[in-house]
Amino acid sequence: MFRIGHGFDVHAFDKDRPLILGGIEIDHHQGLIGHSDADVLLHTIADSILGALALGDIGKFFPDTDAANKDLDSKVLLREVVEKMTDMNYEVNNIDATVMAEQPKLRPHIDDMREVVASLLNVPINHVNIKATTTEKLGFTGREEGMAAEAVVLLKKMEELS
């Protein structure tokens, strides 16, 4: 049995922050702000998995009103979501994600991000696709005020052990 899920997230840029995306740090003159490390890509991936499981979203499990989630490493957050998925006897079949950003150029970092995501999701790297697109200088991403990310995931029920 399969379940499909979708995620979408946005974070604003701030000059005094490191840019953390897909679980890696990318050299850039500004980074994303949030209650956590603001990793917009890992957040959208976590949301897509919660969506597939009909469990709601990351704000439900990691509220931004909880001091324990302040500056949270989003790899920890995604690991916990993957644990919930495993407890429900599901595994990731494949995931496809898109990051919307005018700058920096993400292509040189895509395979490093895929490696981190594949390891967090316990799947081979060729089950993880990450794409980047500008928005042709339009909107908040085009003005380099922030980044947006979207993901679609397919989960499959794990084989029952006899």
Ligand X SMILES: C[C@@]1(CO)OP(=O)(O)OP(=O)(O)OC[C@H]1O
Ligand Y SMILES: Nc1ccn([C@@H]2O[C@H](COP(=O)(O)O)[C@@H](O)[C@H]2O)c(=O)n1
Query: How many CB atoms within 10 Å of residue 67?
Result: 7
Which residues from 100-119 bind ligand Y, rule CB under 6 A?
101, 105-107
User: Two tokens at 69?
Assistant: 């989630």
As measured in angstroms, the least distance from the Cβ of 21 to ligand X is: 13
As measured in angstroms, the least distance from the Cβ of 112 to ligand X is: 21
How far apart CA 141 and CA 32 sit, in angstroms, is 12
Binding ligand X by CB under 6 A: which of 22, 23, 30, 69?
A: 69
As measured in angstroms, the least distance from the Cβ of 123 to ligand Y is: 22
How far apart CA 10 and CA 6 sit, in angstroms, is 14
> What letters, b where the CB count within 10 A reaches 16 and e where it falls short, cover 133-150?
eeeeeeebbeeeebbbbb
If the CB atoms of residues 31 and 132 are measured against ligand X, the closer one turns out to be: 31
If the CB atoms of residues 52 and 72 are measured against ligand X, the closer one turns out to be: 72
Name the β-bridge partners of 92. Answer: 155
Q: Which does 152 bind (CB under 5 to 8 A by kind): ligand Y, ligand X, none?
A: none
Residues within the interface to ligand Y (CB under 6 A): 101, 105-107, 132-134
